[in-house]
Each structure stands twice: as C-alpha cells, then as structure tokens.
Structure 1
Amino acid sequence: MTTSPDTDAPQADPSDPLAQILADLEIVETTLEAMLPQMQWANEEIAAAQERHPAAREQLHASFLLLKPTNDLMRREMPYRAHCREILERVATGGDTRPATAIEVLGALARASARTPLNTAATGLYFRMWKAGEAAGLPDIGIVSELEHYEAIAGTLMDEYEHDARTRLAQPARSLTPVPAAFIAATAPTPEPEPGTLFDL
C-alpha cells in the first residue's frame, strides 16, 4: 500500500492482490456511506406519502426503487426530497412516473447555463420548475412576480421547453409496471441532447 503525492488516501499496490481487494472495499464503504442519508430521506418521504395517501399505501411501499437519484442536485437533501415527493405523488394518484421531475429539469438547466447564458424562455422555465419544486419542498425564494413576467412574455415557448425537457430526461424504466426492454431502448434519453432544444442555447 502506498500514498498518492496529491492525497493522503492510500493507493493499492497493483502487484499486491490483497491490497487491491482492501482498496476496492474501501471504495465500496465510502460509496455506501454517501448513499445512506439518501436512503433514509427516501424512506421518510415514502412514510410521509403513505400518511397523505393511505389508500395507496402498498403502491408507495413498493416505490423505493423509483427514487434513484439521477443528477448531482440530489446529493443535497432538499432537492432530493422534492424529487421523491413529486414521484411519490404520481404513484399515489396513478400518474406516469417516467417523465422528468422538476428537479431533474432544474439539473439540466443548471448544466446548460454553465455552458452558455439561458435565453428568456429557458430562464422562465427555470423559475417555473423552481416554483413547482416549492410545492414538493424547495424553499420559497419569492419568484412569483418574476415567473409571472416570464409566463406573460414567453409562456408558450416555456411550455414547449418543459415538454421537451420532461420527455428527453425521462427515465423509461422508472415504473412500478414492468416496461418492455424494447420500449426502454427506444425511448432511452441520449447523454447529450440534440441541437434545437432548450439545451442548445
């Protein structure tokens, strides 16, 4: 076992199989430690949803695997809980759980804004998705007046962007009902959206 010059973390000696196994186990342990809070948050949100929707208790109990994090925003408690609540509300009300949630769209918009400034409609969509997330647990940051302004001048294009984003970022396998493999393959989102969408601004 050696130490990297850039970090104090131990590095496995490639000629030592035992050291490599121990290093791999350490990586697994670190990964599990990072996942444990999210698992707790997901279970808490399921329990809360069961309180809100007692008639859907069994469906909600079976929904844990639908709550898999899909972007970096979900490393934080508040966005992840908001994502879970949106999915669980769909489960409880018989909605389609596959389209992207507001948090998934916000994550994509954040990535797009890191490459280039968002145009008017995309900025309006960001506010719209944040407002939708507020209903599921995001903090109220007082964007109502700004959102109303953007809805008035770019509402139609925002609708198109939202439909496009929720469809492109959909998770085809995120369903309590088994989905045929051919459908999953045909509808799986591409890693990089094609030109001509709100992501290519």
Structure 2
Amino acid sequence: MTTTLQAHPPGDRAADTGLIAVFADLLGFDLEPVLAELAHIDAVEQAVRDAMARHPGTADRLFHATALLTPTHNVMRSPEFHLPHVRELLERIGAGADTRPATDVEICITMSKASAVAPLTSSAMGLYFRAWTNAGLPDVANIAATSRRHEALESNEIDNHEAACRRHIRVPTRVLGAITCDGFHYGIAADCRYATANDAAPTSRTER
C-alpha cells in the first residue's frame, strides 16, 4: 500500500476511519494495516500544517509542496523513517532552500546499504551517526554518545563526507514546478497567493 496525500478538512479522517471499520467488518479483513496507513497520512499532513504555522510567509508554498514529500525508499513506508525525511524537506521549503540534496534519512539509508557491502571507515560511521542523530531517529545502542565522540575526533572529515553524500545521492527531480491553486486548502476556501495568480476562477477543490 502506497502513501497517498490528500487534502482532508479537520475531522474528516475520523469519519473515513469509521466507514472503513464498517466495511472491514462486513468483508472480514484485517483493519490494522489500513488504520496504520491512515495514521501515517495524518501524521504527514500534520507535519505540513505545523510547518505552515512555523513559516507563515511561505505557508501557501508549503501546502502545495506535498508532491516532494513522497517516500524515496521502501524503508520510508514506516513513519519512523518517513516523517523525519518529511520534516527536513518542509523546513527547506519554508526557508526557500534547495530540496534536491539528500536528507538525513536518505543518508542513513545509503550508509546502511554501503555497510552491508563493506565495512565503513571511522569517519563514514561518524556521518552515519550524525545523520541518524540529526534525523531524530531512536537512540538505539547509544548512538548519540557515539556520534559525539566521532564529532570530537573527526568532524572535518565528516563534514566532507556529508557534503559529498548529499550531492551524490541528491534527487534532481525533487523541485517544485509551477503551482496552481483552485482556491481551497483542506477543502476550505483559502486566500492563496497561487490562486490569485490564476486567470480562471476556482472550480473544484485541490487534491493532494
């Protein structure tokens, strides 16, 4: 099941969940994966709302940027890895920064794959631990403390690895194109800067 982002007014998701529960009971299938997927979608949409509140000057741009938030690796099917990736990209969008370089989660995934092929050098491990810590992933095996030790000994090398990694595994297509808006955000009429730039009047609600 893939994560699809749609604009839902607050409260609609509860109604959706109730209907799904009814159909699940009638059809006799396991509801848990569906509810987990809905919770994942809700968490992403909440991250967008939170970013819009932090960056009111670019709130309209953030609302329309959800196409950039789709998972880039299978492991991001888990919210534990997808949400930090989403939050980092939202911060970049809010600040007007480049969204193409790899995120901390993408670096972690790359380093994990590399470590399965050959042992990582000490500074490469330092990058792995830095990205893991920056992403706010769980502090398993005392990674945060280990990361601080690497930073104290070889931060310059880690900086170089990080710059190279973000550049080499960047996602060239992760950029916002032309934005059009039908004048609705989350099903509610919105004074969106991208709607006022359109020649045509709003005719339907924006879907993510």
TM-score surpassing 0.5?
yes
Q: Using the alignment, how far apart are the partners of 1:38 and 1:165 within structure 2?
A: 28
Q: How many residues align?
A: 143
SS at match of 1:118: coil
User: Which stretch has the larger CA shift, 109-118 or 38-47?
Assistant: 38-47
Alignment partner, residue 45 of structure 1: 47
1:85-139 CA-to-partner distances (Å, cap 9, x unmatched) read 00000000111111000000000001011112211011111110011101xxx33
Q: Using the alignment, how far apart are the partners of 2:160 and 2:74 within structure 1?
A: 25
Offset at residue 72 of structure 1 (A):
2.6
Alignment partner, residue 160 of structure 2: 160
Q: Using the alignment, how far apart are the partners of 2:40 and 2:148 within structure 1?
A: 34
SS at match of 2:102: coil
Alignment partner, residue 150 of structure 1: 150
1:125-176 CA-to-partner distances (Å, cap 9, x unmatched) read 1110011101xxx334553432221122222221111111101111111112
User: Which stretch has the larger CA shift, 36-45 or 82-91?
Assistant: 36-45
Alignment partner, residue 4 of structure 1: none
Change (3 A) 1:91 1:38: same
Alignment partner, residue 70 of structure 1: 72
User: Which stretch has the larger CA shift, 53-62 or 37-46?
Assistant: 37-46
Q: Using the alignment, how far apart are the partners of 1:176 and 1:114 within structure 2?
A: 34
Offset at residue 43 of structure 1 (A):
1.9
Q: Using the alignment, how far apart are the partners of 1:77 and 1:49 within structure 2?
A: 17
SS at match of 1:117: coil
Letter of the 1:54 counterpart? P
TM-score, normalising length from structure 2?
A: 0.62
SS at match of 2:135: helix
Alignment partner, residue 104 of structure 2: 102
Change (3 A) 1:52 1:167: same
Letter of the 2:164 counterpart? D
SS at match of 2:175: coil
TM-score, normalising length from structure 1?
A: 0.64
Q: Using the alignment, how far apart are the partners of 1:36 and 1:113 within structure 2?
A: 33
* Correspondences of 1:15-164 after superposition (within 5 Å): 38-134=40-136, 138-141=137-140, 142-164=142-164
User: Which stretch has the larger CA shift, 87-96 or 142-151?
Assistant: 142-151
Offset at residue 38 of structure 1 (A):
4.9
Offset at residue 44 of structure 1 (A):
2.3
Contact 1:112 / 1:118 at 8 angstroms: preserved in 2?
A: yes
Alignment partner, residue 174 of structure 1: 174
Change (3 A) 1:38 1:118: same
Q: Using the alignment, how far apart are the partners of 1:85 and 1:39 within structure 2?
A: 14
Of structures 1 and 2, the one with the larger relative CO (CA 8 A, separation 6+) is: 2
Letter of the 1:163 counterpart? A
Offset at residue 177 of structure 1 (A):
4.3
Q: Using the alignment, how far apart are the partners of 1:47 and 1:175 within structure 2?
A: 20
Contact 1:72 / 1:107 at 8 angstroms: preserved in 2?
A: no
